[in-house]
Amino acid sequence: MIPDRIAFCASDTNLSRRSFLGTSAAIGGGLMLSLTLPLGRSEAASSDSFAPNAFIRIGSDSQVVLTMPYVEMGQGTYTSIPMLIAEELDVSLKQVWLEHAPPNEKLYANPLLGVQATGNSNAMRGAWKPLREAGATARIMLVAAATKRWGVDAKSCRTEDGEVIHVPTGRRLKYGEVVADAANMPVPGNVTLKSPGDFKLIGTRAKRLDAPEKVNGTALYGIDARPAGVKIATLAQSPVFGGRVKSVDDTAAKAVKGVRQIVRLDDAVAVVADHMGAAKKGLAALKIEWDDGQHAKLATEEIARKLEQATLGSGAVAQNIGDADKAMASATTKVEASYQVPFLAHATMEPMNCTVHFRKDECEIWIGNQAVARVQAMAAKEAGLSPDKVIIRNHLIGGGFGRRLEADGAVRAVQIAKHVDGPVKVVWTREEDIQHDMYRPYWFDRISAGLDKQGKPVAWKNRFAGSSVIARWLPPAFKDGLDPDSTEGAIDLVYDLPNFHVEYVRAEPPGIPTAFWRSVGPSHNVFVTESFIDELAAAAKQDAVAYRRALLGKSPRAKAVLDLAAEKAGWGQPLPKGTGRGVSLQFAFGSWLALVAEVEVSKAGTVRVQRVVCAIDCGTVINPDTVQAQIQSGIIFGATAALYGEITLKDGRVEQTNFDTYQMLRMNETPTIEVHVVESTEPPGGMGETGTSAIVPAIANAVFAAAGRRLRKMPVDASLLKRA
C-alpha cells in the first residue's frame, strides 16, 4: 500500500511556525531562503524539527516534509520540485511528504513573476537554482551536526537516502537523529550544487508522488472540501456581464426539499442547500428577472470589428529591427493577411468552486488555486478583514490552465458566505463555469511581408489588437503600452528578419472579462507568425521546412529541433489525397519546439488530426516522463481549441453552455503523438504550455497542404473546406 503523501492542506501550525522564518529578497529574484533569524531557530528546535528554510522540515523521526511553493494542477510539479530538493538533500522520494504552501508572497513568490503564482510555465525555471540550494543548505547543516557529534571532518562524510555516513568507519546517523543539532549549525553562505554527472534523481523517470491517491479516489481537490456542517450552494450570475438582479421569486425554490436559504446579491442569486442536487433543483425553480445593463446587445462580431479597426491605427512598438517600410517598398513580392483567434473558455474538469466559512472576525477558505496570496488579498478585501485573518487552505487543482490564477470565484463565495451561518461550499454548474469564465482574449492581427527575388523575407510588419491580461492582473508589468505576455511569440522570432516591425494595440473588449489561458500570448501569436511564415513559403514556392531552415542562421537550437521533427515525421514523403502535413517552429517559455502534424480533411470539410511528431529542446530535463506527458497534454489542449474552441456572444450572453456546445477532443479523435527530446545541459525551459501554442498553426498549415485552403481564423470552419 502506498501511503497518501499529500497533507490535506497547510495547517495553522505550519503557518505560525513558518512565520518565524524570514526571507531575504524573494520578490523580483534572488535567494528565497532565510536562515538568519535566531528566533526562528529556537522555535524550530523547540518544535522538535529542523526547518532550515521555508521548503524543508525534517522531524526527529526523519520524516521529511516539503512545502510546495508551486501548485500541482497536473503538470507534475509535486514530483519535479521534490526531485530538485531531494537531489541535493540526498533523500529518497519515498521519504518525502508534501504539503501545499500557505499564502506568503515573501516566502513563496515565484522569483520570475515576483508573486506567489504558478503559471507561465516557469515553476521549474524559477525553482531550478533556489530549491536545489535549499536542499543543499539543509544537507550541509545536517552533515555539520553529525560530524560535530562524531568529532570528525565533514570531508570524511557523505550522505545517502537520508543518512549521514562517516566513510572511514561506516558509522551512520539518520537525519532525524541530528535534527536538533542541525538547527544550531551555522548556515552556509554559499553552497556548491551537484554537477549534472552526479545527479541521481534529476533526469530520471521518477514516479509521480500524487498518482496513487489520484487512482483510488482519495485525492482531495477544492471541490472535495467538507468542513463540518458545510452547506452546498450553487448560483446564477447575470447572464450578461455587468447586468444586475431586477427581481427574484424564490417561492418554489424554497419549497424544494433540502433547500435552506436563498442569497440574493446585486448581480447573482445563490441557492444554499443540504446537497448540490437540492441546490440545483432550487436554482431551476427560481424565477429571476435580470436588468441586462449596457451590454444587453453585445455580439462577438461587434468586438471583432472594433479590434479590426484598432489595427488600422498605430500601436506601441513591441520590436523594431532595421527599416521595414523602406524594405517593403523595394520588395519584389508583397504578402498581406489578417488573422483572428476567438475567445476561449478554460473548461477545467473541476468546475469552479470555493468553500468559505465566514466568522465574526476571520474567514476560512478551502480552494484549489494557482495564486493563493492573490485569493487571500482579494477575499480579505471582500470580507472587510485584514489578510492575516483570512486562512487559505489550498488543494490539488482539477485543471488550472490559467483559470485558477483568478480569485473571482473566491470573492463570489465570500459574498455568499457573508449571508450564511456556518461553512458553505459554492459549486458552479458547468453552465455557469463556461458562461462566466474569464476568457482567452479575442485577437485581430494585420500582418504583411515583403519578399526579395529569391523569395526571402526582407520586410515583416505586424500590428495586432486585443486585451492585455497583464494590465489587469499585474499592472506594474504593463509599461508603455506593452506587456511581456501579449507580445510573446510575435517578437524575438527565431528567424533572421532584417527589417522587422511589430506593434501592439491594447484594446479591451466591453462586456466580457479576459484572462490567461494555457500558452497565453503564444496561443495567439505563434498561430499567426507560424501560419504567415508558411504563407511566405507558399508565395515563394518553396518547401515549408526548407524555407524556415534557411532563416535560422542565428538559432542553432531551433534548427536542431526542426531537423529532428522533420526527419522523424518523414517530411516530404507522399501522403494519400486529402491528407497533409504542416509544420510549426517556436521558441516560447524558454523551450524550442518543432512540430509536424498530419491531418485528414474529409469531403465534408471536417478535419481529423492523425499524427503529431515533435522535437523539443527544453534544456536540462528534470523528468523525461513529465516532459513527454506535458507535450501530449499541450497538444491535445491546443488541438481541441483549433478544431472546436470558440466562445461567442449574442445579446450579451455567452452562447455555449456545456460540453455539448463547447466541445472537447475525445479518445476517438486523439492522434498518435511522438515526442523526441534533444539532450541538453542548459538550464531548464518551460514545458506546460509549449505544445498548446505550437499545434494550432501546425494543424492550420497541414490543412493548407491537404486542402489548399489557408485558415486565418480559428477554429477550423468545416464549411470552408467542404469539397463538391
* Pick 78 or 339: Cβ nearer other proteins: 78
Q: Position 235: which residue type? A: L
What does residue 283 show for φ and ψ, rounded to 5 degrees? Answer: -60, -40
* 718 binding other proteins? (CB under 8 A): yes
What minimum distance in Å lies between the beta carbon of 11 and other proteins?
20
Binding segment (CB under 8 A) for other proteins, from list 218-226, 294-302, 544-552, 589-597: 218-226
What lies within 8 Å, CB to CB, of 301 at 6+ separation is none
User: Contact between 409 and other proteins (CB under 8 A)?
Assistant: no
Site for other proteins in 9-28 (CB under 8 A): none
* DSSP labels, 295-314: GTT--HHHHHHHHHHHTTS-
Q: Which is nearer to other proteins, 345 or 373 (CB)?
A: 345
| CB 430, min distance to other proteins, A | 4
Q: Which of 340, 514, 365 is CA-nearest to residue 426?
A: 365
Measured distance CA(427)–CA(115) in Å, rounded: 27
Say how many CA atoms lie within 13 Å of 617 toward its Cβ.
Answer: 21
Asked whether position 211 contacts other proteins by CB under 8 A, the answer is yes
For position 276 contacting other proteins by CB under 8 A, the verdict is yes
Question: 215: exposed, middle or buried (C-beta count within 10 Å: 0-12, 13-18, 19+)?
Answer: exposed
Torsion over CA of 458, 453, 586 and 594, rounded to 10 degrees?
Answer: -160
Q: Contact 64/134 with Cβ under 8 angstroms?
A: no
Question: Which bin fits 63, alpha (ψ -120 to 50), beta or left (φ > 0)?
Answer: beta
Which residue pairs from 299-303 have beta carbons closer than 8 angstroms and sit at least 24 positions apart in sequence? 299/648, 299/649, 299/650, 299/651, 300/342, 300/343, 300/442, 300/648, 300/649, 300/650, 303/442, 303/509, 303/510, 303/512, 303/649
410-449 mask for other proteins (x: CB under 8 A)? -----------------x-xx-------------------
> How many C-beta neighbours within 10 Å does residue 25 have?
12
Q: What is the number of alpha carbons within 13 Å of residue 404 lying toward its C-beta?
A: 29
Question: Of the candidates 395, 492, 461, 502, which has an alpha carbon nearest to the alpha carbon of residue 78?
Answer: 395
Site for other proteins contains 666 (CB under 8 A): yes
Share in percent of the chain as helix, strand, coil (round to 5): 35, 25, 40
> Considering beta carbons, is residue 26 or 427 the nearer one to other proteins?
427
| Smallest distance, other proteins to C-beta of residue 635, A | 7
b/e code 119-145 from CB counts within 10 Å (16+ = b): bbbbbbbbbbebbbbbbbbbbbbbbbb
Binding flag, residue 280, other proteins (CB under 8 A):
yes
Q: Binding of other proteins at residue 349 (CB under 8 A)? A: yes
Residue bearing cell 492585455: 468
Name the burial class of residue 629, with classes exposed (0-12), middle (13-18) and buried (19+) by CB atoms within 10 angstroms of its CB: middle
Question: Closest CB to other proteins among 172 and 275?
Answer: 275
Nearer to other proteins, 278 or 303 (CB): 278
| Shortest separation between residue 403's beta carbon and other proteins, angstroms | 11
Q: Whole-number minimum distance, CB 397 to other proteins, in Å?
A: 6
Query: Contact region for other proteins (CB under 8 A) — 178-186, 190-198, 569-577, 662-670?
Result: 662-670
Contact segment (CB under 8 A) with other proteins among 133-141, 183-191, 224-232, 493-501 equals 224-232
CB of 329 to other proteins, least distance (A): 45
Q: Shortest Cβ distance from residue 2 to other proteins (Å)?
A: 8
Q: Select the span of 125-133, 301-309, 374-382, 654-662 touching other proteins (CB under 8 A).
A: 654-662
Using CB under 8 A, which of 162, 315, 351, 466 touches other proteins? 351
| Residue owning grid cell 503523438 | 673
| One of 116, 348, 415, 519 touching other proteins (CB under 8 A) | 348
Residue identified by cell 537523529 is 177
Residue of the chain from 232, 505, 520, 595 that contacts other proteins (CB under 8 A)? 232
Site stretch for other proteins (CB under 8 A), options 219-227, 455-463, 473-481, 523-531: 219-227
Establish if 210 lies at the interface with other proteins (CB under 8 A).
yes
Q: How far is the CB of 370 from other proteins (least distance, A)?
A: 12
Contact set for other proteins, span 378-407 (CB under 8 A): 396-401
Site for other proteins in 253-272 (CB under 8 A): 256-258
Assess 627 for contact with other proteins (CB under 8 A): no
Q: Chain centroid to CA 702: how far?
A: 27
295-301-307-312 Cα dihedral, nearest 10 degrees: -130
CA angle (570 as vertex; 564, 573 as ends), nearest 5: 145
* 658 is a site residue for other proteins (CB under 8 A): yes
CB of 706 to other proteins, least distance (A): 20
Contact with other proteins (CB under 8 A) among 198, 667, 679, 724:
667
Distances (CA, A) of 648 to 245, 288, 289, 654: 23, 23, 23, 6
- Out of 168, 190, 215, 266, the residue judged to bind other proteins by CB under 8 A: 215
Mapping DSSP onto H, E and C, the string for 440-502 reads ECCEEEEEEEEECCCCCEEEEEEEEEECCHHHHHCHHHCECCECHHHHECCECCCCCCCCEEE
CB atoms within 10 A of CB 167: 11
Binding residue (CB under 8 A) for other proteins from 101, 507, 607, 665: 665
Question: Does the footprint of other proteins cover residue 648 (CB under 8 A)?
Answer: no
**Residues 66, 141, 219, 642: which binds other proteins (CB under 8 A)?**
219
Is residue 596 close enough to count as binding other proteins by CB under 8 A?
no
Cβ 590 to other proteins shortest distance, Å: 21
DSSP state of 540: T
Residue 193 buriedness (CB in 10 A; 0-12 / 13-18 / 19+): middle
**Cis omega before residue 697 (within 30°)?**
no
Question: Binding residue for other proteins (CB under 8 A) from 134, 236, 278, 367?
Answer: 278
CB of 417 to other proteins, least distance (A): 17
| Min CB(697)–other proteins separation in Å | 18
Instruction: Between 82 and 400, name the residue whose CB sits nearer to other proteins.
Output: 400
Q: Does 228 bind other proteins (CB under 8 A)?
A: no
Residue 33, exposed/middle/buried by CB under 10 A (0-12, 13-18, 19+)?
Answer: buried
Site track for other proteins across 52-91, x = CB under 8 A: --------------------xxxxx---------------
Site size for other proteins, by CB under 8 A? 70
Measured CA to CA in angstroms, residue 696 lies from 353, 503, 715 at distances of 30, 22, 9
Residues 628-647 within binding reach of other proteins (CB under 8 A): 629, 632-637, 640
Residues that bind other proteins (CB under 8 A): 72-76, 205, 207-208, 210-212, 214-221, 223-224, 226, 232, 256-258, 274-278, 280-281, 347-351, 396-401, 427, 429-430, 625, 629, 632-637, 640, 658-661, 663-668, 670, 672-673, 718
